[in-house]
Chain A
Amino acid sequence: MRIHWLGTARHFLQVVAFCCVVAVLTTSIWPRHSYWTQLGHALAIGLIIWSVIEFGRLLVPARYCHPSSAGGHGWPKGWRGIVLTLVGIGTGFLVGDPLGAWLMGTGGYRSARDDQIGLVITIVAGSVASFYFHMRGRAAALEASRAAAQRDTTEARLMLLQSQLEPHMLFNTLATLRALIAVDPPRAEAMLDRMVDFLRATLSASRAPLHPLSAEFDRLRDYLELMSVRMGPRLAYALHLPPDLADAPIPPLLLQPLVENAVHHGLEPHVTGGRIDVRARRLPDGRIQLEVADTGAGHDPGAPARAGHGFGLAQVRERLATRYGGAATLELRAMDQGGTSATIELPLESP
């Protein structure tokens, strides 16, 4: 339970200002006391209501409150907010009113009608002020959650880029390129071309929502070709794309994390390496199935997901959900002969 003193002080001043207005009203009803006396009386009631509500809400567990922008307790949600307001107003009237009368000497004779008017003013003023603070609190909470969402999106985009431009991959590829320049310039040139295509595709992937499956497979070929220059005979791969699916549109670099996982977790840990197969297929119901299979270490469903692995898959799932809702699936299974197969099924959109 933390108190944000700056926010509290701001609320305090707003209550004082509100009491100044209420005192104008009461002075017009009961002209026999001066404005300053009435203000004192109004402040006694108003500040007691405010204290009960301001500090009372800290007793409500945070999960029942709107979040505040400072990360603290906001206004309590639902009936808790109403009860707190009623308790505040009740305390204000029962304690604040006599206290104000005693302090300011506004006691003495009061008719039953005066009492009723006083009660009505307390309730109306208390409710109006509470409602005001409630709305302000809700607006602040909305603003806070909007800002958080914005931050999440930016962070997600950065993480996507960072995962695609994995520094180990980048610098190892550059190191290989540097080594090749001396011994095999034509091969170095070919590798550099692939690298340029790969980098260009990675950097522009977030811009276009869809590209044809043939382009996707070209990018996978760039990546696998770069990796196979580095890994030599430890990496074998094949891409299978039926010609009639070449133009089918899919989100750019959707398969990239799956292929990276296959290289990274399937093949790289193995001294002898392995093989990767990427296949596109049309299913009988007209949807597309995309499969990335490796012959490597295998996905151990009981083992906790490795950080990189988990992030790549989560990212693919999220992109599928954003684009296709529940109509697309990603499934991961360990194959009997060892290795992992990741399968995506998605609806075929017209190009």
Chain B
Amino acid sequence: MTRALIAEDEPLLADALQQELARAWPGLQIAARVGDGLSAVREALALAPEVLFFDIRMPGQSGLEAAAELADAWPEGTPFPALVFLTAYDQYAVQAFEAQAVDYLLKPLQRGRLEKTVARVQALLAARGSGAQPVNEATLAQLRQLLASASGAGTPGIAAPAAAPLRFIQAGSGGRIDMVPVDEVLVFEAADKYVRVLTAGREHLVRTPLRELLAQLDTQQFWQIHRGTLVRASAIASVVRSESGKQSVLLHGRPEAFAVSRLYAAQFRAM
């Protein structure tokens, strides 16, 4: 029997989805319903359902962030669930995803559209063999793209001024502001409310969110290797894979290793 997880913070909309699904896919069992992005990850890992319905705007963390975290934490050997996102407004250019790995439903739900999604998910599950990769690259690529457009989009209608490339990181510490040239930075790492800025010898903390820094940095220079980590590409010494299959990056000038998430692992294939 196929099982699904519904993550939707508005109870009435979760009810409606469940009812419509009962009609469109009678064989589908709703394994659990949750109302926030943190529980969504927890329950999905615990229950390992075949289908996930994730609302994009949820408390705790967004459906996109939850899916990205899940893609990373998903155990080897189990195929990743089919993903269906729900949103009230198509600020992520829905059309582009109509025929792809990750499906996308607009609220209010319309019966015909839901039936299409059900047919697609059923076909996807039927066609899926026991591939070596737990999460296929098409799904990862799409998640990356969705996350990038969600963080870069800002508020629609307000023209964001083209961000000038950042040259210095102004890191406050006590009453002092350290001017750290971006050219010296090796790593940006999100840590709770702060971003750690690592140079060869030092560590600074800034309060600007990582996604805002990302918008002002040269993506050729800094590669994203994890949702919370950017590293200087030219400082990468090697990428190693542990026995459990997790990749991590070693840098010239820093002693520690930095974890590479599955979402961003594709850039480190051997030539």
Contacts and interface: CB of A to CB of B under 8 A. Distances in A.
A231 B59 CA distance: 11
Interface in B158-173: 158, 160
B interface, size bucket = 20 to 34
Contact of A171 (B89, B156, B208): B89
Nearest to A180: B12
Contacts of B155: 307-308, 311
A175 B156 CA distance: 21
B157 A159 contact: yes
B207 A232 contact: no
A326 interface: no
Nearest to B91: A167
Contacts of B89: 167-168, 171
A172 B154 contact: no
Contacts of A271: 35-36, 38-39, 59-60
A49 to B, nearest CB: 40
Given A175-B16, A176-B13, A229-B12, A269 B59 contact: yes
The B interface, classified by DSSP as helix, strand, loop or mixed, is loop
A277 interface: no
B183 interface: no
Contacts of B76: none
A163 B155 CA distance: 10
Interface in B170-218: 207-209, 212
A182 B108 CA distance: 13
Nearest to A187: B12
A304 interface: yes
**Residue from the set A163, A229, A271 with the largest chain B CB neighbour count within 10 Å:** A271
B75 interface: no
A174 interface: yes
B154 A175 contact: no
A234 B191 CA distance: 28
Contacts, number: 83
A331 B37 CA distance: 33
Interface string A270-290: 110100000000000000000
B261 to A, nearest CB: 23
B57 interface: yes
A172 B13 contact: yes
Contacts of A269: 59-60
A131 B88 CA distance: 60
A303 interface: yes
Interface string A307-339: 110010000000000000000000000000000
Contact of A179 (B15, B39, B158): B15
B11 A159 contact: no
Contacts of B246: none
B24 interface: no
B212 A307 contact: no
Contact of A270 (B59, B156, B209): B59
Contact of B108 (A163, A178, A230, A232): A178
Interface in B2-19: 9-13, 15-16, 19
Nearest to B11: A232
**Residue from the set B13, B15, B157 with the largest chain A CB neighbour count within 10 Å:** B157
Contacts of A182: 16, 19
28 contacts: A162-B156, A163-B157, A167-B88, A171-B108, A172-B88, A172-B107, A174-B107, A175-B10, A175-B13, A175-B107, A176-B10, A177-B108, A178-B108, A179-B15, A179-B16, A179-B108, A230-B13, A232-B11, A234-B59, A268-B59, A269-B60, A271-B36, A271-B59, A302-B207, A304-B209, A307-B154, A307-B155, A308-B155
Interface of A: 158-159, 162-163, 167-168, 170-172, 174-180, 182-183, 229-232, 234, 268-271, 273, 302-304, 307-308, 311
